[in-house]
Structure formats: structure tokens, C-alpha cells
């Protein structure tokens, strides 16, 4: 069988390991696979929308590859374009359409109910999807594949529950990185991303993990780790095949298992010897861990603040991390010579100008080397998303959003959407520049939020104009005072 995987996300520094893991399982079962992703076609033109360019390129890809199945990794932000491409596959080329990824896991009834969809995978796909392909190859469908839902010839839906979680991650073949060009594993700053574990145990209200833990509570261990030896073997393969200069350990919480993290650090420098970066929670970082990471070659630690206001951070977002822990974690990382990256989010229910300024102030205190500020998105399957939906706070179509950074889809009585756009665009400026300059920054912010609408215009010309302004402000951040990245093993 020839399988065309379709990934709707925009690949910059992290490649879609979820798709690559399933592709590796498919090829291990004797099938052929190829990846179509949206990255080359995201840029808007003055006369043509990105969706049109994606559709044209997809048509050519299907004509060229002639797949026996089209497997889509589905996210709510690209839901509509995914439906369009699925319809092309099924109706024009008679190629069976399979949806996998976070959306059919969280909303299986909605997903299988789409007329463009033939099958969905309701959990991890490394075992269920190859089994579906085997049955499709034999011509007898998927009536009995656990974790695969489908439709009979009359359109009636059959539901086969959820698959078991993969217990031993070492049994899985390494991600099929041949799907992408080698330069994707030599990305600026991050190099190649690697997963060493699956699962996060914290039920933050804005995250989908709480729902996933409930869905799979009887399907095996939610938190699973690869052996360190298995991780090292994958790293060595990526170095040999793709000359990866560094690694990003993309685990949601690399230091969740402290003893394992310490053992990894002890063995990493002599075995791999490449710079690497991690992400974790502030309350799972201390001076001893920071020292071990630094000595192993870690050059950056990503830590999420989300909000500088403790009530929003802990009562609304359910992070349950005191401000003191954040300050201590950043100090420990900085004192051991590593760079820091802060994750921040504005526009959550209850946000005010005052709480945004608190988030700016805590960033000024911790002095991160890199800063990310997103605008809250009420994702399906999240506690906060359900809250916004039940109170009619969602004003935009989430399926038409393109990112978390320059669109507002939730109304807030204390903040206008344009104010959120302005503070997101100039967040780094308020953090990194001296206070005496803030009056000037507010003037720039006012001009910016006056030009950039909180929603995406329908006119291609207006969309292109908006995109150019957003991109220009983003690029100006390069001139703000910050450390230059020089990754080297200490």
C-alpha cells in the first residue's frame, strides 16, 4: 500500500514526530509512505489565499504519488482545509481518507461524522493504522480493528473503542525522518527534535492533557519513558544520517523523572557530545539539576510562566506554581550558564491590563534570553475551552485560525481584541527595553493594533497586508538586546 501522510502544521524548528512514528510503523509493515505538509505554501500572495496554493500542490502530489490511502494528522486550527483536501482525496481520486492526531482522539464523533472521512484512529496509531492498511489491502475494511472507527457501504458508523497505549516505547521503530529533507534536522537553534517520553501528568486547564488522561485511563500507563540507550541510538543515527548539530528534547517535561534526567546527563556528554535544549516546569528545576544539565551540554531550558498573576496562573490556568518557584528556577538555570526561554499567554478569561503588566514584570525580573507570548486559544477538550464555550465567550471560528500569536477568538470584558494584539506584538519590547522607552513603545503598539485586525480578513489583499505588518514587527525583535546563540558543549 502507498500512504500519503498529510501534516497541516507549519514546520519550522520541530518536525512532526507523531506522523513520523506512524510512518515508520507503516513502512516496517512493508508499505510505502510519503509526507505532504503545508509549510512551503503558507505564505500569502496578493491574489491567492494560502488554502488555494495548498490545494493546488496537494492535487499535484496525489496525481504524482497515486496513494492507496490518505492519512491526515488533524488539528482544529486547520480543520477546514483538512476537510477540503480530504474531500479531494475521497471524491475526486477515490482514495480512502483516514484521520488521526489530536482532533479525532478528542472529538471522534464529530470527526467520523464528516462526509469526507472514511476512517479515524482514536489513539496512538503505530499498531492500529498498519492493521487497517493490511485489511484495506485485502479488501475487507476495518470492522474489527481496535481503535479504528469507520463506515460501512451504507454510511453507517461502526465504533471500535480506543487502542491500548504503547507500553514499551523501545519496541517502536525510530521516526521515519526520510520523509523530510536533511536540512529540517539542522534547524537554527534546535537542531533535531527528539522525544524521550510520552505523557504529562498535570491537568492544566488550557491544555488537552487532562482530557487525554481521562480518555486513556484504562488503556495502560499514561506516562512512559524510552530507555536512555534507545534514545542515544536514535541520536547517533540522526547525527550520522543528517549531521544534526544539536538536539531539542521535546518531552513536555524532561525533568519529571528526576533520577532518569540525572542519569541521562551523566551519560550524555561522553556518548553524544552535542549541545541540547529541554523544556520542563519551573517547580521541577533546581540547582542540582541545572548543574547536571549544564555539565552535560544543555544550552537552553524552556520554562512556562503563562501568567505573572498568581490567581490567573494557578486558579484559572491550574498551573499550581508559586511565583517564588519560577524565580528560583530561572535563577538556577541562569547561574549555571544556560539560556532561558519563557512561555507566556495573554487573553485568558479574567485577564486585565494589570495582569498583562504583571506578566511583563515577572519577565523583566527573570531576564529570559528568548520570549514567546501567545494569545489564549480555547482548544477543544480543554477545561478552559469548555468554560468559554458554555459562557458564549468564543467570538471567532477556531477552525479558521492559523496560529496562537496574532488572532483573538475569545471576548474579554476588560480588554479589547486589538489591545491583546498590540501587547502580544510588543511583549518582548516591554520586557527587554528600559522603562524610559515604554511611552514610545505604547505609541508603536497603538499604531500596530490599529492596523492589525484581531481576525483574519477574507480579502487576499487585506490578508497579505496584515501578514506583512505582523511579520515586520516580528522581524524587528531581532534588534532587541538579547544573547546571541552560540551552542557548544562545556
Distances (CA, A) of 358 to 5, 405, 430, 444: 43, 19, 11, 20
Q: Which residue has the cell 504529562?
A: 200
At residue 144, the pLDDT reads 85
What string of DSSP letters covers 230-266?
A: HHHHHHHHHHHHH----EEE--TTTTSSHHHHHHHHH
Spans of the chain, pLDDT less than 50: 485-490
Give the strand pairing for 197-198 and 276-280.
unpaired
CB 369 within 8 A of CB 340: yes
At residue 489, the pLDDT reads 40
At residue 490, the pLDDT reads 37
Distances (CA, A) of 64 to 32, 68, 81: 14, 12, 21
User: Residues 196, 197, 198, 204: is their CA dihedral positive or negative?
Assistant: negative
pLDDT over 70 for what percent of the chain?
A: 96
pLDDT tens-digit map of 163-220: 999 999 999 999 999 999 999 999 888 899 999 999 999 999 999 999 999 999 999 9
Distances (CA, A) of 117 to 31, 59, 145, 216, 485: 21, 18, 17, 23, 45
pLDDT tens-digit map of 286-328: 999 999 999 999 999 999 999 999 999 999 999 999 999 999 9
Distances (CA, A) of 24 to 20, 132, 133, 187: 6, 15, 14, 22
At residue 40, the pLDDT reads 86
Task: Tell me, letter by letter, the H, E, C secondary structure of 216-227.
Answer: CCCCCCCCEECC
Q: Which three cell numbers stand for residue 208?
A: 488537552
Residues 354, 54: Cα–Cα separation, whole Å:
41
CATH (residue range 181-394): 3.20.20.70
Packing angle, helices 17-28 and 125-138, rounded to 10: 50
140 φψ region: left (φ > 0), alpha (ψ -120 to 50), beta (else): alpha
How does 391-404 read in b/e, with b if 16+ C-beta sit within 10 Å?
Answer: eebbebebbbbbeb
CB 477 within 8 A of CB 487: no
Find the helix or strand (DSSP H, E) in which 279 lies: strand 276-280
Residues of the chain with CATH 3.20.20.70: 181-394
Residues 200, 222: Cα–Cα separation, whole Å:
8
CB 94 within 8 A of CB 86: no
Residues of the chain with CATH 3.40.50.2300: 2-158
Give the strand pairing for 157-158 and 148-151.
antiparallel
Fold of 2-158: Rossmann fold (3.40.50)
| Strand partners of residue 187 | 191
Residues 8, 470: Cα–Cα separation, whole Å:
21
173 φψ region: left (φ > 0), alpha (ψ -120 to 50), beta (else): beta
Amino acid at each position: 500500500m502507498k500512504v500519503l501522510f498529510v501534516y497541516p502544521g507549519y514546520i519550522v524548528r520541530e518536525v512532526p514526530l507523531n506522523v513520523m512514528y506512524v510512518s515508520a510503523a507503516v513502512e516496517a509493515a512493508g508499505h510505502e509512505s510519503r509526507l505532504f505538509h503545508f509549510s512551503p505554501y503558507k505564505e500569502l500572495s496578493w491574489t491567492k489565499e494560502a488554502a488555494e496554493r495548498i490545494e493546488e500542490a496537494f492535487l499535484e502530489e496525489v496525481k504524482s504519488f497515486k496513494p492507496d490511502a490518505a492519512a491526515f494528522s488533524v488539528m482544529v486550527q486547520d480543520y477546514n482545509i483538512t476537510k477540503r483536501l480530504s474531500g479531494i482525496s475521497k471524491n475526486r481520486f477515490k482514495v480512502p481518507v483516514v484521520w488521526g492526531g489530536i482532533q479525532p482522539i478528542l472529538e471522534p464523533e464529530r470527526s467520523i461524522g464528516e462526509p469526507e472521512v472514511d476512517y479515524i484512529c482514536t489513539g496512538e496509531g503505530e499498531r492500529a493504522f498498519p492493521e487497517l492498511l493490511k485489511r484495506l489491502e485485502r479488501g475487507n475494511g476495518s470492522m474489527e480493528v481496535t481503535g479504528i472507527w469507520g463506515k460501512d457501504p451504507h454510511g453507517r458508523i461502526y465504533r471500535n473503542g480506543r487502542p491500548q497505549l504503547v507500553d514499551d516505547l523501545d519496541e517502536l521503530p525510530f521516526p521515519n525522518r526520510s520523509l523530510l529533507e536533511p536540512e529540517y534536522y539542522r534547524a537554527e537553534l534546535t537542531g533535531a527534535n527528539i522525544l524521550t517520553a510520552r505523557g504529562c501528568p498535570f491537568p492544566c486547564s488550557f491544555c488537552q492533557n487532562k482530557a487525554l488522561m481521562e480518555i486513556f485511563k484504562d488503556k495502560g500507563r499514561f506516562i512512559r519513558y524510552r530507555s536512555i540507550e534507545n534514545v542515544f541510538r536514535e541520536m547517533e543515527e540522526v547525527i550520522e544520517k543528517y549531521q544534526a548539530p544539536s538536539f531539542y528534547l521535546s518531552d513536555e517535561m524532561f525533568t519529571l523523572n528526576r533520577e532518569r534526567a540525572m542519569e541521562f546527563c551523566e551519560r550524555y556528554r561522553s556518548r553524544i557530545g552535542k549541545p541540547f535544549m529541554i523544556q520542563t516546569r519551573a517547580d521541577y528545576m533546581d540547582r542540582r539539576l541545572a548543574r547536571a544539565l549544564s555539565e552535560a551540554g544543555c544550552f537552553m531550558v524552556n520554562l512556562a510562566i503563562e501568567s505573572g498573576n498568581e490567581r490567573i496562573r494557578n486558579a484559572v490556568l491550574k498551573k499550581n506554581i508559586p511565583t517564588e518557584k519560577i524565580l528560583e528556577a530561572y535563577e538556577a538555570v541562569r547561574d549555571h550558564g544556560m539560556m532561558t526561554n519563557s512561555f507566556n499567554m495573554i487573553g485568558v478569561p479574567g485577564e486585565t491590563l494589570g495582569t498583562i503588566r504583571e506578566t511583563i514584570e515577572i519577565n523583566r525580573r527573570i531576564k529570559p534570553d528568548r520570549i514567546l507570548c501567545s494569545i489564549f486559544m480555547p482548544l477543544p477538550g480543554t477545561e478552559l475551552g469548555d468554560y468559554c464555550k458554555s459562557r458564549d465567550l468564543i467570538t471567532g471560528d477556531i477552525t479558521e485560525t492559523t496560529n496562537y500569536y496574532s488572532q483573538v477568538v475569545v471576548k474579554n470584558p476588560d480588554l479589547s481584541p486589538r489591545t491583546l494584539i498590540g501587547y502580544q506584538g510588543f511583549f518582548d519590547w516591554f520586557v527587554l527595553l528600559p522603562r524610559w522607552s515604554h511611552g514610545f513603545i505604547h505609541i508603536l503598539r497603538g499604531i500596530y493594533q490599529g492596523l492589525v485586525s484581531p481576525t483574519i480578513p477574507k480579502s487576499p489583499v487585506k490578508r497579505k497586508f496584515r501578514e506583512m505588518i505582523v511579520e515586520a514587527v516580528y522581524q524587528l525583535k531581532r534588534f532587541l538586546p538579547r544573547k546571541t546563540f552560540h551552542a557548544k558543549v562545556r
